[in-house]
Amino acid sequence: MSSSSVPMSTKAAMGPLVVIVFLGFLAVGTPLAALAIHLHDAMGFSPALVGAVIGAQSLMTVVTRHAAGTVCDRYGPRRSALIGLPLAALSGLVMLPATILLPADSLLVVPLLLLARAMLGAAESFFLTGSMTWGIGRMGPARTGKVMAWQGIAMYAALGTGAPLGLWLLQDGGFDTVLLLSILAPLLATGIALGLRGFPGSGGLRLPFHRVVGLVWMPGTVLALSGLSFVAMTTFLALHYQARGWAGAGLGMIGFVAAYILVRLFLAHLPDRQGGMRVGIASLALQFLGQLLLWWAPGPLPALLGAVVTGLGFSLVFPAMGVEATRCVPAAQRGQAVGNFIAFFDLALGLGGPLLGLAATLGGSAAPFLVGAVSTLAALLLLRRLPPVA
């Protein structure tokens, strides 16, 4: 249910929420690479322990998505966002003694680090699920795809700028400056959220976890299978260029990101107007072609083309499948649908790195893109089995 009887314009409805998501995800993206370097170089952590600390966030994000959706449906999405954003700031405060104040060999350091990362994972669940559901309420359910497209731009823009910004802050001012930004950004987002009007949750009976997952598993699985290509691009593209002795890995990433953003800027309305299935099929077909090009590419120019085509295809998969997921559940359970749907992408991010890393070890640097192509083809076949709109 919208906060007003007439859906708001895109600028009025989404502008503040896009800023909220961007600031919230700065708290996620800014310490990501900087924390790994600080733990390894300054504190002497092993790579395995660094991985465990970093991974605690993703695990908690998956675990808490359903709870965040329940809060949205029962108490309203504004409540969910106002739980997640201060919690993100608090996670930075908890990390402060673990990384700055206590000696590295203190028995409290690892538990505090794991607690801080788990808090950040839960915070992401609550503020992103809340912001997505809030946007649908402000824009109207008929523009669900557009909401998810714009929130996705904010999310990836924050992650894309946050990581290099965090590394620059680490080098220029130390890890305490990284934490300072990670604390202040979600606090500023909290202030913006407090100034926005919310709308009440539906209350009433809740669908159990297994029932909601049972309703959204098909579009969610399509998203997860498609998401393996995103992991291949963000994690293994530069390594592939390096292994082949090619220059221009940065240009390949720029091509992928630029294509992704341009499609969302100009074609975000398509899932709402044309339907999630139709847009999803076209998007996955492009993504499949892009991954095949990257796997086959004999030189950097075909690889660049593959990166661009992958970005064109991947861009609208999330909003297209979001449209399909939200139509699978009653309106009163929309928050749970959004939360559990996003959890499928979280799983792809969490499992994709080790899976594609194994593929690269066994099959060479191009193997992750072959896995991306095969998983995209599987997503395309599964998508064609989605039930039609009633």
| pLDDT at 5 (0 to 100) | 43
CB 387 within 8 A of CB 219: no
CB 128 within 8 A of CB 21: yes
CA torsion angle for 234, 225, 26, 312 (degrees, to 10)? 60
| pLDDT at 211 (0 to 100) | 60
Say whether 96 sits in a helix, a strand or coil.
Answer: helix
| pLDDT at 233 (0 to 100) | 86
| pLDDT at 147 (0 to 100) | 84
Residue 387 CB neighbour total at 10 angstroms: 10
| pLDDT at 339 (0 to 100) | 73
Check for a shared fold between 10-194 and 209-383: yes
pLDDT in tens, 307-360: 999 999 999 998 999 888 877 666 666 677 777 787 788 788 778 878 888 888
| pLDDT at 331 (0 to 100) | 63
DSSP code, position 141: G
| pLDDT at 199 (0 to 100) | 76
Neighbour-count burial for 143-162, b at 16+ CB within 10 Å, e otherwise: bbbbbbbbbbbbbbbbbbeb
CATH 1.20.1250.20 correct for 209-383: yes
- The ranges assigned to domains in the chain are 10-194, 209-383
The span from the CA of 294 to the CA of 369, in Å, is 6
Q: Where would I find the H helices in the chain?
A: 10-37, 47-75, 77-96, 109-139, 144-173, 175-194, 209-231, 237-244, 249-267, 270-274, 276-296, 300-314, 317-327, 334-363, 367-383
User: CA angle 158-162-165, nearest 5°?
Assistant: 145
The span from the CA of 337 to the CA of 330, in Å, is 9
What residues in the chain have per-residue pLDDT under 70?
Answer: 1-10, 47, 51, 201-215, 328-334, 387-390
Which CATH number is associated with domain 10-194?
A: 1.20.1250.20
Say whether 103 sits in a helix, a strand or coil.
Answer: coil
Pair of tokens at residue 354:
């080790």
The pTM of the full predicted model, rounded to 2 decimals, is 0.75
| pLDDT at 205 (0 to 100) | 54
| pLDDT at 8 (0 to 100) | 60
Instruction: Quote the percentage of the chain above a pLDDT of 90.
Output: 39
Shortest CA distance to 195 belongs to which of 88, 83, 82? 82
CB 69 within 8 A of CB 81: no
CA distances to 228, 256, 305, 324, 379 from 221, rounded to whole Å, are 11, 23, 27, 12, 7
